[in-house]
Homo-oligomer: A and B are copies of this chain.
Amino acid sequence: MTMPHTVTLFDQELKAVAGRVSEMGGLTEAMLSDAVSALTRMDKDLARRVVAQDKRVDALQFEVEEQAILIIARRQPVAQDLRDVIAAMRISNDLERVGDLAKNIAKRVIAIDGTFDSKKFALGVEHMTELTQAQLKDVLDAYANRDEETAVSVRERDDEVDAIYTSIFRELLTYMMEDPRQISICAHLLFCAKNIERIGDHATNIAENVIYMATGVQPMDDRQKQDETGVVAEPSS
């Protein structure tokens, strides 16, 4: 088990798993970007392409899980190696959800009947998406580079996304009140905004697993990561 040749093979296996996780990361980043472009432009063709891409993300997650379990069973990793395998499984789980959430935005774009013409909404969603994408990108770089410091900074940035989400939530309710014909479309947009906010939460989870990988400290589950519209986002009216 400790012969150089075997260790090299083992290292290759670990790298293969990490490579698949990174591939998932790249795909889900693109899905988020495309889903939001499809949303702000009401581009149903692009939305359909996003939906189709999710199969690849699911397949990759399946492979990560299979390989990780095989590594645990055959190689019986401990310490850093075991943390790497556990972190890969957890991160792939979060990325699979990111893909699902992006796909759900795309499905809503396909379903929405009519147009919703609000520059303010589009700007808000785009801004929230930029922040979330930056979180995803940074945390995936942090994963590839075992960069604990960046992971900590990603974890701390989630509040800003939550604040924009809360403001979009209020704004959509106002649109609904002003024009009841917009209620159906705005309900879909509420869920789209919520999905982006959830993607930010998953970036935070991933950050915690990068920290775990680097330090062995388990993510503490004092999750204040859900949106607080349950508490604060009552519209003023």
Q: Enumerate chain A interface residues (CB-CB to B < 8 A).
A: 55, 58-59, 61-62, 65-66, 69, 72-73, 76, 78-79, 82, 86, 93, 96, 100, 103-104, 107-108, 110-111, 113, 169, 172-173, 176-177, 180, 183-184, 187-188, 190-191, 194, 218, 220-223, 226, 228-235, 237
Determine which of B76, B169, B234 lies in contact with A76 in the assembled complex, contact meaning CB atoms within 8 Å: B76
Whether the Cβ atoms of B58 and A221 lie closer than 8 Å is: yes
Whether the Cβ atoms of A104 and B226 lie closer than 8 Å is: yes
CB distance from A93 to the nearest CB of B (A): 7
A113 partner residues in chain B, CB cutoff 8 A: 234
Whether the Cβ atoms of A226 and B100 lie closer than 8 Å is: yes
A-B contact pairs, 14 of them (CB 8 A): A55-B222, A59-B221, A61-B221, A62-B221, A65-B218, A69-B82, A69-B86, A72-B82, A73-B78, A104-B230, A111-B230, A183-B183, A184-B235, A188-B229
Contact residues of A: prevailing secondary structure: helix
A78 partner residues in chain B, CB cutoff 8 A: 73
- 5 closest A-B pairs by CB: A107-B230, A58-B221, A76-B76, A108-B230, A177-B180
User: In the assembly, how many copies of this chain are there?
Assistant: 2
How many angstroms from the CA of A100 to the CA of B221 in the assembled complex? 11
Determine which of B62, B180, B220 lies in contact with A218 in the assembled complex, contact meaning CB atoms within 8 Å: B62
With A100-B226, A223-B100 known to touch, is A73 a contact of B79 (CB < 8 Å)? yes
- Closest B residue to A183 by beta carbon equals B176
CB distance from A147 to the nearest CB of B (A): 22
A55 partner residues in chain B, CB cutoff 8 A: 222
A169 partner residues in chain B, CB cutoff 8 A: 187
Determine which of B59, B61, B73, B111 lies in contact with A231 in the assembled complex, contact meaning CB atoms within 8 Å: B111
How many angstroms from the CA of A169 to the CA of B190 in the assembled complex? 13
Known A108-B230, A113-B234; further 16 A-B contacts with Cβ < 8 A: A58-B223, A62-B221, A65-B218, A76-B76, A93-B93, A100-B223, A108-B229, A110-B231, A111-B230, A111-B234, A172-B187, A173-B187, A183-B183, A187-B190, A190-B190, A191-B229
